[in-house]
Amino acid sequence: MKRHYSLIASALLLAGCGGSSSGGGATNTAPTYSLSGQVALAEANSTNTKVCVDYNQNSRCDQTESAIALDSNGQFRFQSTSKTFYSRPVLAEVALADNQTLFLSTPGQSKEKGMVINEVTSLISAMVNEGSTLTVAKEKLQQQLTDAGVAVGDDLLTISQPNGLEVLSENVRRVLGKVNSHEQSRILAQIAHQLQFAGQHFATDALSEQTIEQWLEAIRNQPIQRQVINDTGVVKHFSGNSVSLENAPSEHYPGQDASFGFDRLDTQESTQNGFKLVKLDGNGNPLPDDAEQWSCVQDLRTGLIWENKSADEQSLQYRDRIFTLKLPRFEPYAEDLAASGCHDAGDNICTTQDYAEQLSQQTLCGQTNWRLPTVQEFYNLIDFGEQSQTETGQQKGLNQRYFPQQSLGHTDLDPYGYVWTSTVKFNQYNAYATEGSIQSAAVRLLGEDRGQIEYFEIYSDMVAADSGTSFQLPVRMVAAKGN
């Protein structure tokens, strides 16, 4: 059975299931979840280290956060009836012999085991805490290390031995000895975003005390920057006139969205609102705004690069070609793979991962890190002021000038324009889920309800055979370009 729920529908469903039965049925018991990992630090042991889930993200284990000690093997394990801890950073407080306490962390990764806490994960955790997505944070740090000639593995969050990262680890420790809890996250994030300072590299040079002090002073003197997001794209005001919207604000209906933000203060001539977009050629070079052929679009607010889809049904980048979802630690269901668009196309590019790897191998627009966007990244691209429509009268959700080829979505549904994202949630209420499935988030991009977030039940390879198919959707891949 194919299931999908909007955020509102899911809330109503769960609320309706909250009452108790007056019958004599079995009592429902909340499941217990676990979260485990290790503190990858030679000095860490069961007597000098405590670990907590840093729910308030203040880089300290507060009394309400129930810190636990490591076991004799340097491992930790939490248990809870809530899955909230899967999305929160895990913090280790390590008391060293010189009376210094190290506060190290790793970001929430939506996984049960294999968490690693060390100096490197602390940099990524700080980047996430300050507004980067987990994927962007890892990619940016790893790219800087590669550029500096530091050989690292495929995943910086799973490295338990600092081979090749000894200098970086020592520099992190020295910085941590000079910052307080209120500034730790910001300072580590700033360093992680730019590992070079005054001709020195944080990963390859043993920094002097003077250099570290100068670096910290420079960061503290910088104005606080937050992750930039787009405005809504709405530039018209409601005035009480049922026929049309107005450019000027209405004194009778003050405080409307069109009166604030980039759409009002930084209007772009090309988009007529606050969206700041540029067309790119196949090598990633900027093109004139009136270019008729382009390969990608860069969002200059966020720095993200989006692929431009094709109207050619024979193209791999055809707007409505469907793919089966494949994510790290999530293998697709056989019947979903059989329904993928690769069979009609006669190639082996069947999953979202296959497609991302193909674009990366092609170095589309000069990028080798193509991936699925998160639901937040895709939502941020929606232009709620866009007035163009499909042939059937559905309002489009993306700026037509830069994204003329918009997908219709899944064939079993009305043309709502759903595409895959990497955002998933694991079903906490198993009575309403197929065993072995997850719920994948998608944003509605067509129609009056564009912007509504839906969750689709997606089968994994653990679902019983002959269960039918779940969903296959088009994609629009994204790449993060380092600034």
Amino acid 433: pLDDT: 77
Residues 210 and 344 in one domain: no
Q: Are residues 322 and 465 in the same domain?
A: yes
> Does 375 reside within a domain?
yes
Q: pLDDT tens-digit profile of 262-272?
A: 888 888 989 99
Query: pLDDT band for position 21 (50/70/90)?
Result: very low
Residues 204, 199: Cα–Cα separation, whole Å? 11
Q: Give the pLDDT band (50/70/90) at residue 392.
A: confident
Whether residues 214 and 329 fall in one domain: no
Structure tokens at 441: 């988030």
Token pair belonging to 447: 């129609």
pTM (whole model) above 0.85: no
With helix as H, strand as E and coil as C, how does the chain read? CCCEEEHHHHHHHHHHCCCCCCCCCCCCCCCCEEEEEEECCCCCCCCCEEEEECCCCCCCCCHHHCCEECCCCCEEEEEECCCHHHHCCEEEEEECCCCCEEEEEECCCCCCCCEEECHHHHHHHHHHHCCCCHHHHHHHHHHHHHHCCCCCCCCHHHCCCCCCCHHHHHHHHHHHCCCCHHHHHHHHHHHHHCCEECCEECCCCCCCHHHHHHHHHHHHCCCCCCCCCCCCCCCCECCCCCCCCECCCCCCCCCCHHHCCHHHHCCCCCCCCCCCEEEECCCCCECCCCCCCCCEEEECCCCEEEECCECCCCCCCECCCCEECCECCECECHHHHHCCCHHHHCCCCCEHHHHHHHHHHCCHHHCCCCECCCHHHHHCCCCCCCCCECCCCCEECCCCCCCCCCCCCCCCCCCCCCCCCCCEECCCCHHHCCCCEEEEEEECCECCCCCCEEEEEEEECCCCCCCCCCCCECCCCEEECCC
Neighbour count for residue 28 (Cβ, 10 Å)? 11
Q: What angle do CA 117, 145, 355 make, to 5 degrees?
A: 90
In a domain, residue 216? The reply is yes
* Residue 3 belongs to some domain of the structure: no
User: How distant is the alpha carbon of residue 373 from its chain centre?
Assistant: 7
Q: Parallel, antiparallel, or unpaired for β 115-117 and 33-39?
A: parallel
Do 57 and 195 lie in a common domain?
A: yes
In a domain, residue 287? The reply is: no
CA–chain centroid gap for 287, Å, is 28
CA 208/CA 195 separation, integer angstroms: 15
As for how many domains the chain has, the answer is 2
My answer on whether 216 and 318 are in the same domain is no
Residues 73 and 184 in one domain: yes
In a domain, 285, yes or no: no
Same-domain status, 213 and 89: yes
206 domain-assigned = yes
Indicate the average pLDDT of the chain: 87
Residue 416 scores a pLDDT above 60:
yes
Write down which residue in 220, 237, 272 finishes a domain.
Answer: 220
Share of the chain above pLDDT 70, in %: 90
pLDDT digits (tens, 9 = 90+) for 162-207: 778 999 999 999 999 999 888 999 999 999 999 999 899 999 999 9
Instruction: Classify residue 260: in a domain, yes or no.
Output: no
pLDDT, tens digit, for every residue of 432-473?
678 888 889 999 999 989 999 988 889 989 888 888 888 899
Together in a domain, 345 and 474? yes
Domain final residue pick, 180, 205, 220: 220
pLDDT > 50? residue 159: yes
What is the pLDDT averaged over residues 62-82? 90
pLDDT digits (tens, 9 = 90+) for 96-121: 887 889 999 999 998 899 999 999 99
Domain assignment present for 45:
yes
Residue at which a domain ends, from 187, 220, 253: 220
Among the listed ranges 13-17, 254-258, 352-356, which one has the minimum average pLDDT value?
A: 13-17
- Nearest CA to 164 out of 128, 132, 193, 203 is that of 203
Q: Residue 34 forms beta bridges with which residues?
A: 79
Q: Which band of pLDDT confidence, cut at 50, 70 and 90, is reported for residue 30?
A: confident
Domain boundaries, position 173: 33-220
Percent of residues, the chain, with pLDDT higher than 90? 52
- 327 and 468 fall within a common domain: yes
Q: Is the dihedral of CA 327, 333, 339, 342 positive or negative?
A: positive
